[in-house]
């Protein structure tokens, strides 16, 4: 903690020294947020309402969805009741999580100047601690093993391991390049066959797929993709267009920008990640702020906390209950190479992820001024997104234009479908939209 606060102090001092030239040197922007309009977006629990389900006879709106009708035409202001309905179990949620809420109010403020879009978000977390613990490893007296997991995992449901998964805020942006996103939003990217969705293929099937598997992206599961990336009308996970056809679509701007603020893997270094969706959910070119802290051959951590800087080499299981400080290993800040002879005891815990702001680079590091603070049971996240990142795997935002955004929050130790999502939201840069980013300069 000491080290982290020193780092922040250094940034503040830097900003103070150069306040005239770089008033926005820090991610916690000196914007007078109190003068920026406050909007609220209701996010709701979608369960397994995939693109395929929406077009199926099970969905009364299927025919109109097939013609491109907007979800909100029939579902205006029904997010809360839909979410409550679905989260409690039934057709669209075969495996409900006990006590989970059905919707979430996302408070949004937006502003812009010549350079940047500034966003500020606030939402209440269901848990009484921030979700800052992710991919942790526990020493059992002899070896290290992954510990904890999302609430949907069997071993967590059965109480054998604690719920541990990071809180996240995701933003999808379309500039009109993706047909029907304006009307149907995130649902265009959610399909049968994806992780935790019906019809999930085996990992072997994915690994032997020419595009997704070992000869291609090297994946073993299916993640978000767009209908435009598939060859058949039911947009099957395995009917992927050729790499040449996908590249052409990408050049034409047929992709979604997808950025995620991650409470464990990006927030401790004041960043969000940066990716895009077309044939799969991929990260942009370059290097993410996070990587694995695990040597997969020996299953030992690569780094531990630096006792000289943090006062101890690891966390323990009991720190998890209270919310540990610091929770994250940051290479340039508080990490030391793992010492196998440091006297490890049963119940010692280390993050299985290593963060670095210094090592992050390229288009993957575009969101380098994103700061979240958890206070009084709510996250407040301030996000600076350059209007033009200068990278062709991002959407360029222009003043005077509107864009369709989709928001999602993963709250209270969940991943995949167990999130809250919004219907499409129009954001105007300077004018127009459901939310207008007000002009600062």
User: Which spans of this chain sit near ligand HEC (rule: CB under 6 A)?
Assistant: 46, 49, 54, 59-61, 64-65, 69, 71, 73-75, 78, 82, 85-86, 92, 184, 187
Of the candidates 140, 224, 129, 228, the one whose C-alpha atom is nearest the C-alpha of residue 177 is 228
Of the candidates 98, 135, 103, 105, the one whose C-alpha atom is nearest the C-alpha of residue 122 is 105
CB of 172 to ligand HEC, least distance (A): 14
| 385/370 Cα distance (integer angstroms) | 8
CB of 84 to ligand HEC, least distance (A): 8
CB of 189 to ligand HEC, least distance (A): 11
Two structure tokens written together for 64: 């109109």
CB of 59 to ligand HEC, least distance (A): 5
| 272/257 Cα distance (integer angstroms) | 13
| 406/182 Cα distance (integer angstroms) | 9
Strands 290-292 and 281-283, by their bridges, are unpaired
Of the candidates 277, 41, 244, the one whose C-alpha atom is nearest the C-alpha of residue 178 is 277
CB of 50 to ligand HEC, least distance (A): 10
CB of 243 to ligand HEC, least distance (A): 29
CB of 20 to ligand HEC, least distance (A): 49
Nearer to ligand HEC, 93 or 166 (CB): 93
Tell how far CA 249 is from the center of its chain: 24
Nearer to ligand HEC, 303 or 423 (CB): 423
Q: Is 20 exposed, middle or buried (0-12, 13-18, 19+ CB in 10 A)?
A: exposed
- Rg of the chain over Cα atoms, rounded to whole angstroms, equals 22
Nearer to ligand HEC, 86 or 349 (CB): 86
| 130/324 Cα distance (integer angstroms) | 10
Nearer to ligand HEC, 46 or 372 (CB): 46
User: Phi and psi of 437, rounded to 5°?
Assistant: -75, 110
| Cα torsion through 97, 101, 103, 105, rounded to 10 | -130
Two structure tokens written together for 393: 């795997």
| 261/368 Cα distance (integer angstroms) | 11
Nearer to ligand HEC, 106 or 119 (CB): 106
Two structure tokens written together for 215: 């000869």
Nearer to ligand HEC, 28 or 416 (CB): 416
Nearer to ligand HEC, 73 or 312 (CB): 73
CB of 275 to ligand HEC, least distance (A): 22
Q: Which residue's Cβ lies closest to ligand HEC?
A: 61
Beta-carbon contacts of 176 under 8 Å, excluding residues fewer than 6 positions away, are 182, 404
Nearer to ligand HEC, 93 or 348 (CB): 93
Do 333 and 382 meet the contact criterion of CB atoms below 8 Å apart? no
CB of 165 to ligand HEC, least distance (A): 24
Nearer to ligand HEC, 71 or 106 (CB): 71
Nearer to ligand HEC, 46 or 275 (CB): 46
Two structure tokens written together for 36: 């920026």
CB of 73 to ligand HEC, least distance (A): 5
CB of 246 to ligand HEC, least distance (A): 24
Total residue length of the chain: 441
Of the candidates 265, 263, 275, the one whose C-alpha atom is nearest the C-alpha of residue 173 is 275
Nearer to ligand HEC, 27 or 86 (CB): 86
Helix ranges (DSSP H) in 102-153: none
The full DSSP string for 21-41 is T-TT-SSS----GGGS--EEE
């Amino acid at each position: 903690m000491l080290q982290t606060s020193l780092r922040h102090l250094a940034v503040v001092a830097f900003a103070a020294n150069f306040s005239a030239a770089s008033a926005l040197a820090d991610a916690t922007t000196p914007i007078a947020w109190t003068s920026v309009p406050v909007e609220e977006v209701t996010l709701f629990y979608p369960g397994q309402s995939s693109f395929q389900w929406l077009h199926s006879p099970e969905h009364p709106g299927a025919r109109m969805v097939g013609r491109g009708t907007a979800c909100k035409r029939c579902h205006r202001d029904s997010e809360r009741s839909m979410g409550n309905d679905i989260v409690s179990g039934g057709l669209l949620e075969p495996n409900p999580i006990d006590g989970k809420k059905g919707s979430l109010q996302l408070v949004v403020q937006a502003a812009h100047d010549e350079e940047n879009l500034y966003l500020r978000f606030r939402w209440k977390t269901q848990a009484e601690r921030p979700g800052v613990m992710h991919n942790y490893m526990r020493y059992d007296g002899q070896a290290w093993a992954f510990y904890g997991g999302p609430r949907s995992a069997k071993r967590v449901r059965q109480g054998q391991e604690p719920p541990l998964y990071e809180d996240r805020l995701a933003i999808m942006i379309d500039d009109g390049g993706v047909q029907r996103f304006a009307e149907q939003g995130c649902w265009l990217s959610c399909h049968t066959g994806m992780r935790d969705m019906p019809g999930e293929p085996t990992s072997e099937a994915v690994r032997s797929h020419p595009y997704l598997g070992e000869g291609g992206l090297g994946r073993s599961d299916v993640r978000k993709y767009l209908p435009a990336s598939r060859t058949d009308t039911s947009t099957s996970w395995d009917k992927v267009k050729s790499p040449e056809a996908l590249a052409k679509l990408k050049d034409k701007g047929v992709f979604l920008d997808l950025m995620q603020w991650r409470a464990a893997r990006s927030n401790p270094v004041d960043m969000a990640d940066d990716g895009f969706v077309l044939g799969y959910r991929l990260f942009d070119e370059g290097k993410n702020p996070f990587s694995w802290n695990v040597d997969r051959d020996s299953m030992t951590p690569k780094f531990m906390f630096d006792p000289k800087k943090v006062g101890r080499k690891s966390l323990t299981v009991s720190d998890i209950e209270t919310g540990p400080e610091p929770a994250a290993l940051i290479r340039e800040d508080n990490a030391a190479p793992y010492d196998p002879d440091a006297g490890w005891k049963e119940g010692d815990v280390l993050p299985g992820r290593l963060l670095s702001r210094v090592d992050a680079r390229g288009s993957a590091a575009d969101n380098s001024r994103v700061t979240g603070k958890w206070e009084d049971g709510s996250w407040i996240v301030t996000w600076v997104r350059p209007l033009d990142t200068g990278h062709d795997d991002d959407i360029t935002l222009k003043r005077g234009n509107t864009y369709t955004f989709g928001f999602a929050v993963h709250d209270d130790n969940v991943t995949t479908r167990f999130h809250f999502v919004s219907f499409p939201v129009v954001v105007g840069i300077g004018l127009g939209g459901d939310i207008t980013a007000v002009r600062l300069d």
